[in-house]
Amino acid sequence: MARDRKPFRRRTRAVAVLVAAMTVGGTAATELPASAASLPKGHDVSSHQKNVDWPDAKAKGARFVYVKATESVDYASPYFTQQYDGARHAGIIRGAYHFALPDKSSGRAQAAYFVSHGGGWKADGWTLPPALDIEYNPYDKKHGCYGIRKASMVGWIRSFSDEVRRLTGRRPVIYTTAHWWNTCTGGSRAFAADHALWIARHGSADAGALPSGWSFWTFWQYGNSGSLPGDQNLFNGSQARLRKFARGY
């Protein structure tokens, strides 16, 4: 997933390669996996993509998109409105995501900041539930789990989720990798029953092993480049099911 704050851009090339390897296996997939060719195609964007040509994305097959809204409690994407509203006007189902920095503030504080800066939800069939992007620390390679113990990380995620639900009525979708989840939460199974999984795994014919607790994925980010702006994703169901998921069914 794209991080777009300036400190991240100043990484050396070597560190950037290492972080990419930790995050999604270090391999970009530019073509749709053949095993999932019939599933609704989507993408996710951040300020890296700037002003997206949404009619063009729709023409190229985009059926949904997640748009970065916030990071920690001190960053809101300056392109969020153009991207979020532009997708809707083009007829693309869209949702907002928050990039978590659990070492900076509480889960509750980051959830509140996220919802107040675009991370809301309504049952209109066009709005995906808010999403939490939680993965290896891109700013400190020595502390991929943010220096937080496993049980405390589980508590941080629960605090974020509870506040998002209180403010929006929906549990957040959780974006992560199996490796990060099992390493940094100790393989917690506490969220699988009521949180949709957005799994990141690039350069593979399938989504691979899932984080502990989940038996299926809802979204799969299969590549960081392709025909659509930003990262490439799939929804695990029909277009009609995607619409129902957006409505909360």
Q: How is residue 102 written in tokens?
A: 């659990």
Q: Which residue is associated with the tokens 């995620």? A: 157
Q: Which of these is catalytic: 4, 44, 133, 163?
A: 44
What interhelical angle do 107-116 and 150-168 show, nearest 10? Answer: 30
Q: Which residue is associated with the tokens 């917690």? A: 188
Q: How is residue 117 written in tokens?
A: 């800066």
- Annotated active-site residue 206? The verdict is no
Q: How is residue 171 written in tokens?
A: 């549990």
- Annotated active-site residue 31? The verdict is no
Q: Which of these is catalytic: 4, 71, 133, 135?
A: 135
Contacts 24+ apart (CB under 8 A), 152-155: 153/102, 153/184, 153/185, 154/185, 154/186, 154/188, 154/190, 155/107
Q: Which residues are catalytic?
A: 44, 135
